[in-house]
Structure 1
């Protein structure tokens, strides 16, 4: 642990690592780790090797959140702590990839850091506390279910009312705000204004985060609403064809689509990480 966390770093990310993800195919090594006794010297060496190989993942996520009022070095340390947690909690027997488990775990740690340090609006303490529990429960349920948990599943897991969970997710939107102009004197584009943005664009991770947000939202829809979205946007049917399927008017289908998309959009933009809503 010490060796991995104390790896020398500058205040800027090592961008030369991008495109050569050393954590690809790490699962066999994690299987070996799970089979060893923690008292065995090989366990400690193998664990440090795994953590070192996966450091670029923590660096990427730290870069993603830099420029929001926190120093990159601080975010990097937080992201590394999330990586340690992911390595310690990952269960190879679940059959999921390490990256799909580690990304939300590390992001949860970084976002929890922002929650503790930079809440931009006044939020009741109860909702702040619930957000911590939600972040902890998300990766656990994701491994158990093999998918993102719905709001109802999160509420059942935590023994909470569903409305409380939704309120905590929506309230989490207040943990941080971005200034249009951070007023930095740096010429480094990674620390520039939102117009130039904060880091290199890496679509693969953006798609992962988008999928984490949208998937539980769709799962939380009624069967009828989900069918309407599927027919319209995945099977390419017209509103008239869908109306004929359901025996209603085209105008009714148009209203249904507007309602469904508006609801999903509101919940999706609530910025509740990884478990963000269903």
Structure 2
């Protein structure tokens, strides 16, 4: 995980707040310069798993950083580095997929991804609901960030579906299927980004409001059952739902824009 010094973090947040109020090119360029280390770190890590030059990946990563700058909401109270890294990594992975590069996914991540899919089904049966990504990561014994990176890497890799050889690489053959982009993974990446935004917005709700939304909309429980679990009346559940939805709309509207 990338860590920034407290003074740098404060400086970045001050500029982010200024940019959210007055999004000028000068402020955006300043934010790109202040967060260049995030791009270099992600580009360096991915460059060890593919054949593309590091410099090309770095340049593409800056596009992801700019997307993150434009979509970040300082009022959410989250660290910008945690918000920006998925955008930077996603932009680079999209570039690699479109280029037809063959990603070398670490064997450990392949095993974790397979175990994670199995755990997702087991936890859903045990919990009576779909498990959170953080719960799957905890069950695997890894951090949430590594689990997210593992999923992104596996979801964005090219699927070998055609055997026709179109090129000879120094370490083997590349089939036509290797060069085809996977449209489905692009949708999965968008879902992952939306889920991240929703999780951050949910974390800002009051405990009972958050619990009401989870029980009714995520776990699909009747309002009477939700009321019993939370320890409030069904009428109060309804009030919390309306309040929570209004707050979520207000929090997510700037990101959608």
Q: State the TM-score, normalizing by the size of structure 2.
A: 0.43
Which of the two has greater helix per residue?
A: 2
Greater relative CO (CA pairs within 8 A, separation 6+): 1
Q: State the TM-score, normalizing by the size of structure 1.
A: 0.40
